[in-house]
Structure 1
Amino acid sequence: MKRLAEILLLFVFSFIYVPIASAETIKQAVQFALTSNPALKATEAEMRTSAFELMELRSEYLPKVEIFGEAGWQRVDDPAFLSPADNNNIEDRAQIGINASVVIFDGYRRSNLVYANAARVDGNIFRLLDASETMALNAAEAYIDVVRHRALIQVAKRNIASHRRIARQVRDLVGSGRLPNSDALTIEDRISFAELALADVQRGLRDANARYKRVIGRAPAAKMHLQRASVPRSLDELTQQSIQNSYRVKYAQAQIDQSQFQAEVDLSDARPKLTLNAGVTRDINRNGLRGTRTDEYVGVGLRWTLYQGGRKAQHNANAQRTQKALSERAVAVREVVELAALSWNNYRSTAERNAMLRQQLRINGLIVEVYGDEFAAAKRTLLDLLEVERARFNVEFQKVSSDAGLAFGTYRVLAAGSVLARHFGVKSSDITIEPNFQARARNRPTQVFNVNIEPLK
């Protein structure tokens, strides 16, 4: 009875802890890659760095408070001002004070500095989102490549099984004298080539597994399968979507804005700067006079550089930087349009080729069946049968790759439209903070400081 209880306990324990064959969808793989890939983490860290640097500009709007002081010895020789008892003596001296200042007007330097840095943060957010689209596409490609190689292995194994079945048939016919011995050697040679093909595919699968682990961050699951995505109805629709959503174009626009705001920052140097100052100073034995003195003050300070050489060159340099950013945006738009066209053309041609291969594979299957019957009836030679088997294998091999290419083509189209991460259930807010810093800054510069940047985990 005790032994039976131990067996039952062992059975229950095994049922609980024996792992079930894992399965992973392409959506799960992409989501894991977008949250764990170190390359994406590096881009995220760069974005957060720029956000924290923007937060540093809060100090430009806050008062500046300084404490100053000194202590030492002093000798003052001023007989016209000092009495003979105080003149030309070495006396200890000290000073301590506090000064507070706040900028009232600085030629819009602070606001434009905030605008420029807000545009920089938005640009880095768009870079991160664009990198996320690329990462999602790389993850999808790695997933599909593993599925493709697994399917190709099955095709290669079926090819070997078909040739071995023919080999058994050939051995019987050779034994009965209906086929020469050379046919037995021929079929064995074809089996060797079929096994070499399997070995090549297995090596390709190992490479695909290694790439999957690098991109996704973990080994492929036991069960994986192909999935296609819905694509826009036409190239025109894809192109419009791509230009409108492209993070690359949005990043380029942020670069233009940053350049223009930085030019305004430089122009502020030619405008007056007003500062409200207040403070108190206490002197001990200063300027040769014994005793203490307290000096309190409050007032407005003005600083205005009326002329400084090189301002025209500075203006021209800023104009050229802005022109460069404008040109780079135009380049980005053209590249996005081209990428949309290339992605769409690849998808359409792959879909057409896939349909033709499907029809061809069906026909090849029928031919193999007919040739098999005719070979058994001695109406076809072994080479005839092996040739159609080879043709069917090649078409089936291409069909598997075409299925994978068609699935990948749909994801490539979505990536061209900057909606691939969203397709896999990853929202922009799941990847980064909202890219609205520039809009908030233009509404009120200090508003951008009211944000919480969570620490990296």
Structure 2
Amino acid sequence: MNSKDKKFSLLALAVLLTLGAQAQTLPDPMVQAVRKAVTTNPEVQARWNGFKAAGNERDVARGGYFPKIDLTATTGREERDTPLNDYGTYNFNAAQLTLNQMLFDGMFTANETKRLGYAKLTRYYELLEASETAALEAVRAYADVVRYRELVDAATQNYVEHKQTTQQVEERANAGVGRRVDVEQANGRLALAESNLLVELTNLHDVSARYLRVVGEKPPASLPALPEPFKLGTMPDSTTALMRDGLQGSPTLNAAVENVRAYKTAIESSKAAYFPRLDLRAYASNDNNTGGISGGTRVNGIELVLNYNLFRGGADKARERQAVDQREQARDLQEKACRDVRQTLSIAYSDVRSLNEQQKYMDQHRLATEKSREAYRQQFDIGQRTLLDLLDSQNEYFEATRSYINSRHNQATAQARTLAGMGQLVSTVGVKREDLPSAQDAGQDRAGIDPGELCPIEETLVDTMDKIKAQTVIPQRARAATPAPQAAAPTKVSLAADALFDFDKSVLKVGGAAKLDELVAKIKGMQLDVVIATGHTDSVGSDAYNQRLSVARAEAVKAYLVSHGVDVKRVRAVGKGETEPVADNATAAGRAKNRRVDVSVQSLVPAK
């Protein structure tokens, strides 16, 4: 074996080991449940039969390329009496063989075959979408059954703890060392624990019924818990990678793209009605005693047949307009699919990351409350804790356990939602049906989807937990109360807009910048509360235009102040347009006064 073969073998072995390690994280009953859902779920089967039907429909259209051969045969007995002759009664028979070959049909057959090929691909991606949905529902059903079995166990333990506490309190009360009110309080908390247990049992029944609907069989009596940490598959390392790979692989979006291609081709099919149809026809007949002629007659022939419609009442134009409208409708549905998939991927991926981090905090909370519960019980036994302290600690521990269990299973479901949205859940679990062809085998002839062109990636920016922690300033508690600073009287400076901006512009002039430098020098060193830049205009121009101009000029002043050291959080920009004049707009001098930017400075001074 040469070195190249050795490298290939080692690479293949590494891939197999990686896949094997990944598969080991998935409980076998989960994989079997997903496989059964993907291969036997009625909705998936319906999509499978729809895909096969679409392929057969395309073959129907393709048959237009081939000749049509018809055989017509008749036999009978007739009586013929004409003014010239009485033929009497006689037997007759006839046979005719006809061959018809389409030579030109305005490209209808070609376009219709292409359209139905795209329709077949649409059904193919809808089948993939149904398979991904069935796999997701199977994972969710499995995770929920395991989840609520764990919650039933937790609620049962919580009930046992409350029952033991209630018995202990009753024994103390009966011995005269406890209060009857504690017994009532313990009985009330015991009833709550029983109610919680009943709720979890009801939830377990509901998710078991859903498991039966999705998988087609009842959940086994024993199901392995989800591994900790649970890793369903390889997640994208960034939102950009998620959107790039997810949009390209999404069955929903691919189905919408093929649907648009089908309706675009339907427009070309509708134009075939504007062209003539040309057929080659050949025929051979053998008649005996037909048409009143005694004896046999043989006729053979070949001909070209042209059929050209001259008027159909505007139906052809209407059909073309219909096809155009259907194409636009398909494009709208494609845009909707783009937005839906983008939202689904974004939310699911965010849930994966946030729930993964949330689990750590919830586990810490659960462990801390468990320790405090044990400490409270020991202190209660020796009289250092009240009954209320003990019951509260037990209830807090139960709620912490419930939250931790829910977060684990929600995180597993979020991984499945992410992979299903990307069209990768079925392949990740490894349960693809054997009879499913590849996209190329199904007739795919295009490259992948370009998300930047078809479905632009727009990431939703949200601060992370670490970023918020880093930016948050925790105030230190003062040793002695100090008076809060009070706001001083605001200082208002009115700057003529003509000195700051050129006419009809919102970009600061050089001289305008000098005016603002004077303002910056005045407010330096102040403990600023807020600075408000308010733009005003005269009445020349429309209200909407003046409003936009006033806002733009106020924003320009704000940007200048911020660039020269004023805290951006303290500066606001407001546009008033022409609504607050200080002079009459009827004169040029009045209009000049109205074109202004008022800067109001509110500072803080220590309270006296």
**TM-score (normalised: structure 1):** 0.82
Q: Give the counterpart of 1:433 among 419, 437, 446.
A: 437
- Distance in 1 between the 2:445 and 2:299 partners? 40
How far apart, CA to CA, are the structure 2 residues paired with 1:201 and 1:440?
48
Which residue is 2:97 aligned to?
A: 98
Q: State yes or no: 1:65 paired with 2:69.
A: yes
**Residue 360 of structure 1: which of 365, 371, 377 is its match?**
365
Instruction: Identify if the C-alpha distance between structure 1 residues 282 and 25 changes in structure 2 by more than 3 Å, giving closer, same or farther.
Output: closer
Aligned residue type for 1:258: A
Q: Distance in 1 between matches of 2:197 and 2:431?
A: 38
Change (3 A) 1:441 1:276: farther
Maintained 8 Å contact 1:129/1:431: no
By how many angstroms is 1:309 displaced? 4.0
> 2:42 aligns to what?
38
Correspondence 1:291 to 2:295: yes
Q: Which runs of 5+ in 1 are unaligned?
A: 1-22, 78-85, 443-457
Report the Cα offset of residue 220 of structure 1. Answer: 1.1
Q: Select 1:374's aligned residue among 344, 365, 379.
A: 379
The match for 1:418 is: 423
Amino acid at match of 1:27: V
**How far apart in 2 are the matches of 1:186 and 1:48?**
67
% identity of equivalent residues? 26
1:337 offset after TM fit, Å? 0.8
Q: Does 1:406 align with 2:411?
A: yes
Give the 3 Å change call, closer, same or farther, for CA 91–263 of structure 1 in structure 2: farther
Cα shift readout 1:153-176 (whole Å, capped 9, x = no counterpart): 111122123223434543554465
Q: Secondary structure at the match of 2:347?
A: helix
Q: Match for residue 17 of structure 1?
A: none
Q: 1:43 corresponds to which letter in structure 2?
A: R
In structure 2, C-alpha distance between the alignment counterparts of 1:174 and 1:386, rounded to whole Å: 17
Mapped partners of 2:110, 2:174: distance in 1:
95
Which segment drifts farther, 44-53 or 29-38? Answer: 44-53
Where do 1:72-151 residues align within 5 Å?
72-74=78-80, 92=90, 94-151=93-150
Take 2:69 and 2:241, find their aligned partners in 1: how far apart are those partners? 58
1:27-426 aligned within 5 A: 27-70=31-74, 71=76, 72-74=78-80, 92=90, 94-171=93-170, 173-174=172-173, 177-221=176-220, 222-226=222-226, 227-229=230-232, 230-310=234-314, 311-426=316-431
Give the C-alpha shift of residue 224 in structure 1.
Answer: 2.6
Going from structure 1 to structure 2, the CA distance change for 1:314 and 1:181 (only over 3 Å counts) comes to: closer
In the alignment of these two chains, the number of paired residues is 411
Given the superposition, is the C-alpha separation of residues 307 and 401 from structure 1 closer, same or farther in structure 2, using an over 3 Å criterion? same
Q: With CA pairs under 8 Å and 6+ residues apart, which has the higher RCO, 1 or 2?
A: 1
Unaligned 5+ segments in structure 2 are: 1-26, 447-608
Query: Deviations along 1:152-204, whole A, 9 cap, x unmatched?
Result: 01111221232234345435544654422433443344333322321221122
Cα pair 2:345 2:421 within 8 Å, conserved:
yes
CA distance, structure 1, for counterparts of residue 360 and residue 442 of structure 2: 49
2-structure distance, mates of 1:434, 1:38: 22
Distance 1:418 1:127, change over 3 A: same
Distance 1:328 1:102 in 2: 40
The amino acid that maps onto 2:353 is R
Give the whole-Å Cα distance in 1 for the aligned partners of 2:370 and 2:444: 65
Q: For the residues of structure 2 that align with 1:372 and 1:272, how far apart are their CA atoms?
A: 95
Deviates more, 1:129-138 or 1:292-301: 292-301
CA distance in 1, matches of 2:334, 2:361: 41
Report deviation, 1:346.
Answer: 2.8
Moved more, 141-150 or 394-403: 394-403
Amino acid at match of 2:225: H
Q: Residue 218 of structure 2: SS of its match in structure 1?
A: coil
- Kindly state the Cα deviation for residue 405 of structure 1 after the two structures are TM-superposed: 0.9
Q: Is the 8 A contact 1:249 1:332 kept in 2?
A: yes
User: Within 1, Cα distance between the matches of 2:435 and 2:406?
Assistant: 32
Alpha-carbon distance, 1:377 to partner: 2.6
Q: Is the contact made by 1:213 and 1:219 (CA closer than 8 Å) also made in structure 2?
A: yes
CA distance in 2, matches of 1:240, 1:193: 49
Give the C-alpha shift of residue 38 in structure 1. Answer: 1.8
Of stretches 252-261 and 142-151 in structure 1, the one that deviates more from structure 2 is 252-261
Larger Rg: 2
Q: CA deviation at 1:262?
A: 2.1
Report the Cα distance in structure 2 between the residues aligned to 1:431 and 1:174, rounded to whole angstroms: 72
Query: In 2, Cα distance between the equivalents of 1:405 and 1:61?
Result: 55
Q: What code does the residue aligned with 2:393 have?
A: V
For 2:393 and 2:295, how far apart are their aligned partners in 1?
115
Across the aligned residues of Structure 1 and Structure 2, the Cα RMSD in angstroms comes to 2.6
Q: Name the TM-score, length of structure 2 as normaliser.
A: 0.63
- The 3 A distance-change label for structure 1 pair 287 and 76 is farther
SS at match of 2:434: helix
Code of the residue aligned with 1:305 in structure 2: it is N
Deviation at 1:144, TM superposition (A): 0.8
Q: Distance in 2 between matches of 1:355 and 1:434?
A: 41
Distance in 2 between the 1:431 and 1:438 partners? 12
The residue identity in structure 2 corresponding to 1:44 is W
In the alignment, the residues of structure 2 paired with residue 154 and residue 95 of structure 1 have an alpha-carbon distance, to the nearest angstrom, of 86
